[in-house]
Amino acid sequence: MSLLYTLDLIGTAAFAASGALAGIRRRMDLFGVLVLGLVTAIGGGTLRDLLLGDNPPFCFRNEGYLYLSLGVALLTFVLHRHLGGFRQPLLFFDAIGLGTFVVIGTEKALHFKLGFLGAVLMGVVTATAGGIMRDVLANQIPLILRKEIYASACLAGAALLALFIRFGVARSPALLVAAVTVSALRLFAIHFNWALPRARD
Amino acid sequence: MSLLYTLDLIGTAAFAASGALAGIRRRMDLFGVLVLGLVTAIGGGTLRDLLLGDNPPFCFRNEGYLYLSLGVALLTFVLHRHLGGFRQPLLFFDAIGLGTFVVIGTEKALHFKLGFLGAVLMGVVTATAGGIMRDVLANQIPLILRKEIYASACLAGAALLALFIRFGVARSPALLVAAVTVSALRLFAIHFNWALPRARD
Amino acid sequence: MSLLYTLDLIGTAAFAASGALAGIRRRMDLFGVLVLGLVTAIGGGTLRDLLLGDNPPFCFRNEGYLYLSLGVALLTFVLHRHLGGFRQPLLFFDAIGLGTFVVIGTEKALHFKLGFLGAVLMGVVTATAGGIMRDVLANQIPLILRKEIYASACLAGAALLALFIRFGVARSPALLVAAVTVSALRLFAIHFNWALPRARD
């Protein structure tokens, strides 16, 4: 099992847990919590595959993603009152997932012959669309559109990877540096409370 | 015209009426009511076909679904003040639609070579995604994520059908038993006010 | 560069500006404003291409649409306090975009062998789905579903074009008359404050 696939599974599990917690906070029932966990974990990659025309989407060809997401969401539902100590590690694994999803999405889009900007956007979509769907289903303005550096970190990493590949950098270091950039920016942003500017009134 | 197709049309009409009523309750204009009726009736099957890569979706190959949905939504708009007596029958036809959509979606997904869990989820998507879209457009947390046994009935019926097919049960009884299971669970849930557990605080 | 393509770019820019303004009003950060601008400008055509199975969608094959939308959204973000005098022209360009998107979508759907009602709906989807996505992301009931003649103008123009094509009217006048019908209805509706009926209580 490659390192990238391992990181992909870690990120999927972290995203599923964050989606399930959002459902629990909104007082959804078991089914709602499972749906929010699943959609958060696989929504971004599924939308990417729909846009690329790669049917059926990845998680229906490797159902491991479905079992993992639903399993983690179920565990989160059952154990959520005992998960207080997992908040910090969850942010860490979430950042790992973010970096991994960005490089997987950008690389796949380039493989499907998209241009520079299209591939960068596909990396961002892969990493962020699941969280946006989670917030839409929970009837909230997506967090990512309001006050986090979250998406900018994805944008930076995706652009870096697309540039690396255009200039012939070897695949492994290119993926690694781009993914670490995203994860590190995300963790720094949480730690130092960075934010993007808003339009002035 | 087969029994399955007849039930499919009944379910489509019932879903269109429920979508139109949601639009009327939210004080939408005629166009909004038509959109909500249409999206509720065909949204689930359309999303399923997008995910399966079966383009264009079913309702664009057989426009009867479009005419039926828009026609029912229009009738509901015009006559809604005289429909008080139809509330009970509507719940009944809605339950029939639920069972029919589940078995159609699950069987189609298996035909497209999806695995067990993927096919079960496609059955659930076919039956529930239209209602979720309706609630998102009406700016509400989807009802189904909060407090109904609705989706669990779909899950049970889809799993039953996938198991029947895996173990070689003949098609007609398999479809019938699975669809009746969904519809009956749904009607029992309404009658006895069943609900799924929520996470405890 | 054809007239239709020129109008298409004008409409794309106007839609991107309206999306960016919606994001600014909802106090989103820079990333949110860019997403809302992009989604409003390309969301309709992208959904149409997904439904038609034409992958990847138009804006990933001609990235000019992506650069234009993001550039306009960025400019709107930076300059929005100095754009007071552009409100009226923006409504005008928005109406031009509406007419153009309707005829492009309807014609493309007929080219993909959709039937009459399917093609008309695709024209409406092309012109209105981006705005609906904008409102869903901004956590509001889509404006178009509540109180504007907006969508009805699209419906009328799309039906007109589909009829013209069915009865063999030459392409250029057919497109022109249909597009002008949509834009003019939209501008009249704003000017005279027309509205569709709502269901009575």
Q: Provide the pLDDT for residue A43.
A: 97
Q: Does B93 touch chain C (CB under 8 A)?
A: no
Q: Which residues are paired to B29 by β-bridges? A: C198
Q: Provide the pLDDT for residue B176.
A: 93
Give the position of tokens 């459902």. Answer: A23
Q: Provide the pLDDT for residue B201.
A: 58
Query: Pick the residue with more confidence: C79 or C1?
Result: C79
Helix B116-137 vs helix B150-166: crossing angle, to nearest 10 = 160
- d(CA A8, CA A93) in angstroms, rounded, equals 10
Radius of gyration of chain C (CA): 16
- d(CA A88, CA A85) in angstroms, rounded, equals 7
**For a pLDDT cut of 90, what percent of chain B falls above it?**
70
Asked if the Cβ–Cβ distance from C117 to B80 is below 8 Å, we say no
Query: What is the average pLDDT across C8-22?
Result: 94
Per DSSP, the three-state class of C100 is helix
CA distances from A76 to A140, B24, C47 (A): 21, 38, 34
- d(CA B157, CA A22) in angstroms, rounded, equals 28
SS (H, E, C) A7-27: HHHHHHHHHHHHHHHHHHHCC
Give the start-to-end residue ranges of the domains of chain B: 3-192
Question: How near does any CA of chain B get to the CA of A139, in Å?
Answer: 5
In eight-state DSSP terms, residue B57 is P
Asked if the Cβ–Cβ distance from C196 to B56 is below 8 Å, we say no
pLDDT in tens, B22-38: 999 888 889 889 999 99
Give me the helices (H) in chain B, please: 3-25, 30-52, 58-61, 64-79, 87-111, 116-137, 150-166, 171-192
Query: Pick the residue with more confidence: A145 or B158?
Result: B158
Question: How near does any CA of chain B get to the CA of C82, in Å?
Answer: 32
Q: Which residues are paired to A44 by β-bridges? A: none
pLDDT greater than 80 at residue C198: no
Query: Pick the residue with more confidence: B120 or C142?
Result: B120
* Chain A contacts in chain C segment 127-166 (CB below 8 A): 136-139
> What tokens were used for A64?
């491991």
**For a pLDDT cut of 90, what percent of chain C falls above it?**
70
Q: Which residues of B touch C198 (CB under 8 A)?
A: 27-30
- d(CA B91, CA A156) in angstroms, rounded, equals 51
Q: Which residues of A touch B52 (CB under 8 A)?
A: 55-56
pLDDT in tens, A74-115: 999 999 888 777 777 888 888 999 999 999 999 999 999 999
- d(CA B171, CA C98) in angstroms, rounded, equals 48
Q: Does C89 touch chain A (CB under 8 A)?
A: no
Question: How near does any CA of chain A get to the CA of C24, in Å?
Answer: 6
Out of B51, B142, B197, the one facing A30 most closely (by C-beta) is B197
CA distances from B161 to A106, B98, B120, B136 (A): 38, 14, 8, 29
Q: Which residues of C touch A53 (CB under 8 A)?
A: 53, 55-56
Asked if the Cβ–Cβ distance from B80 to C197 is below 8 Å, we say no
Asked if the Cβ–Cβ distance from B145 to A35 is below 8 Å, we say yes
pLDDT greater than 80 at residue B196: no
pLDDT in tens, A39-68: 999 999 999 999 999 999 999 999 999 999
Q: Which residues are paired to A198 by β-bridges? A: C29
Q: Provide the pLDDT for residue B132.
A: 92
**For a pLDDT cut of 70, what percent of chain C falls above it?**
96
pLDDT greater than 80 at residue B110: yes
What residue in B sits closest to A48 (Cα-Cα)? B51
Longest dimension (CA), chain C: 52
- Name the phi and psi angles at C114, rounded to 5: -75, 160
Question: How near does any CA of chain A get to the CA of C156, in Å?
Answer: 29
Q: Which residues of A touch C77 (CB under 8 A)?
A: 199
Question: How near does any CA of chain C get to the CA of B47, in Å?
Answer: 9
Query: What is the average pLDDT across B111-117?
Result: 95
Q: Provide the pLDDT for residue C113.
A: 94
pLDDT in tens, A143-173: 777 766 778 889 999 999 999 999 999 999 9
Q: Which chains touch A (3 or more CB pairs under 8 A)?
A: B, C
Q: Provide the pLDDT for residue A194.
A: 73
Amino acid in the structure at residue A174: A
Q: Does A50 touch chain C (CB under 8 A)?
A: yes
Question: How near does any CA of chain B get to the CA of C1, in Å?
Answer: 30
Confidence band for C45, pLDDT divided at 50, 70 and 90: very high
Asked if the Cβ–Cβ distance from A56 to B142 is below 8 Å, we say no
**For a pLDDT cut of 70, what percent of chain B falls above it?**
96
SS (H, E, C) A64-85: HHHHHHHHHHHHHHHHHHHCHH
Confidence band for C84, pLDDT divided at 50, 70 and 90: confident
Q: Which residues of B touch A81 (CB under 8 A)?
A: 199-201
What residue in A sits closest to C61 (Cα-Cα)? A114
pLDDT greater than 70 at residue C201: no
Q: Provide the pLDDT for residue B21.
A: 92
Asked if the Cβ–Cβ distance from B32 to C197 is below 8 Å, we say no
> What tokens were used for B139?
């700016």
Give the position of tokens 């179920």. Answer: A74
- d(CA B1, CA A191) in angstroms, rounded, equals 64
ipTM of the complex: 0.92
Asked if the Cβ–Cβ distance from A51 to C60 is below 8 Å, we say yes
Confidence band for A201, pLDDT divided at 50, 70 and 90: low
Q: Which residues of C touch B136 (CB under 8 A)?
A: 136
CB C15 within 8 A of CB A15: no
| Residue A177 CA to its chain's centroid (Å) | 17
Q: Which chains touch B (3 or more CB pairs under 8 A)?
A: A, C
